């Protein structure tokens, strides 16, 4: 990826609506955020991994974690995550931004490598291996990767006015056909109903059990996880009933914050 600075930005905050403090919950001896950072750092062509959190004092433990582990951190708006990403990318002088969320401790660096190669070779504005409901997905929930050029992110930052576009960072790049040049990566067969992310207590219980059952907890692929859950269907059953949020769902706290600013 000669000539382009590639930065992975992991979005994290303590105030999850469904599982507060989840990003620092323990998974087999390490905080979840550490699991995500270490796995993303295995991406071959990456120049830097940074964490983007908020200026809310509740997120001070995330900053403390980053300082302890030598990870760059950017602190920005609590609910306008698009602005947080843009400012973090600008500060890091990124040409290409890989968006990862801190609730995906089974993220696969090899899958990120594949998507990044496609993004570069196809010269698109945006690439993803999943889109949230109502779009269909074929990768398990929790392997989610989105990649955008800085130019595309900057345009979204300037133009996006809808609340969900600001909260979820990337919808402005894909929700309107033809607005940007995008590439969507799929896999076969379809595993889109599998849930490997952490948003509820059922999720963290399932992911902890998966990690506990993996022979090598530091070096594994998503296919290793797939083999495990197919061999032990009870693992998938632990959080099968959890509903995944749609692309245009907005945190009530963001709406209250916006109304307060406009009052």
- Strand ranges (DSSP E) for the chain? 6-11, 26-27, 30-31, 48-54, 72-76, 96-101, 126-128, 146-149, 182-184
Q: Name the phi and psi angles at 234, rounded to 5.
A: -65, -25
- Give this prediction's pTM: 0.91
204-220 core/surface letters (b: 16 or more CB in 10 A; e: else): bebbbbbbeebeeeeeb
Is the pLDDT at 243 greater than 80, yes or no?
A: no
Q: Please report the pLDDT score of residue 135 as a whole number.
A: 87
Query: Quick one: what percent of the chain has pLDDT higher than 70?
Result: 90
* DSSP reduced 3-state for 148: strand
Q: Is the pLDDT of residue 78 over 80?
A: yes
Q: What angle do CA 93, 90, 147 make, to 5 degrees?
A: 80
In this structure, CATH architecture of domain 6-262: Alpha-Beta Complex (3.90)
Q: Each residue of 141-199: pLDDT tens digit?
A: 999 999 999 999 999 999 999 999 999 999 999 999 999 999 999 999 999 999 999 99
In this prediction, residue 10 carries a pLDDT of 98
Domain ranges of the chain: 6-262
Integer Cα distance of 133 and 171 in angstroms: 11
Question: CA dist 204 to 20, 27, 88, Å?
Answer: 12, 8, 28
- Averaged pLDDT, 89-94: 98
Whether the pLDDT of residue 254 is over 60: the answer is no
Distance (Å) of CA 161 to CA 54, 80, 82, 169, 225? 20, 11, 11, 12, 39
pLDDT above 60: residue 61: yes
Asked if pLDDT for residue 1 goes beyond 70, the answer is no
Residue 131: the pLDDT is: 87
Mean residue pLDDT of the chain comes to 92
241: exposed, middle or buried (Cβ count in 10 Å: 0-12, 13-18, 19+): exposed
Tokens describing residue 23: 């990003």
pLDDT in tens, 110-143: 999 999 999 999 999 999 998 877 888 999 999 9
Encode pLDDT of 9-30 as tens digits: 999 999 887 899 999 999 999 9
């Amino acid at each position: 990826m000669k000539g382009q600075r590639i930065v992975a930005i992991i979005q994290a905050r303590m105030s999850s609506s469904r599982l507060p403090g989840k990003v620092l919950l323990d998974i087999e001896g390490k905080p979840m955020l550490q699991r995500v950072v270490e796995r993303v750092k295995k991406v071959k062509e990456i120049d830097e991994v940074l964490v983007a959190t908020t200026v809310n004092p509740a997120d001070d433990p995330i900053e403390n974690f980053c300082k302890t582990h030598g990870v760059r951190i950017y602190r920005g708006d609590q609910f306008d995550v698009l602005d947080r990403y843009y400012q973090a990318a600008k500060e890091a002088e990124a040409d290409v931004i890989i968006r990862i969320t801190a609730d995906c401790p089974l993220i696969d660096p090899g899958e990120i490598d594949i998507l990044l190669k496609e993004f570069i070779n196809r010269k698109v504005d945006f690439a993803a291996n999943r889109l949230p409901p109502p779009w269909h997905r074929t990768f398990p929930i929790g392997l989610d990767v989105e990649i955008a050029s800085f130019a595309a992110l900057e345009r979204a930052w300037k133009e996006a006015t809808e609340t969900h576009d600001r909260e979820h960072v990337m919808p402005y790049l894909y929700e309107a056909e033809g607005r940007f040049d995008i590439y969507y990566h799929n896999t076969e067969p379809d595993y889109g109903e599998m849930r490997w992310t952490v948003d509820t207590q059922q999720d963290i219980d399932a992911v902890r059990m998966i990690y506990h059952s993996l022979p090598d907890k530091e070096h594994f692929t998503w296919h290793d996880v797939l083999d495990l859950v197919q061999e032990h269907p009870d693992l998938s059953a632990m959080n099968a009933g959890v509903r995944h949020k749609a692309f245009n769902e907005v945190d009530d706290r963001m709406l209250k914050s916006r109304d307060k600013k406009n009052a």
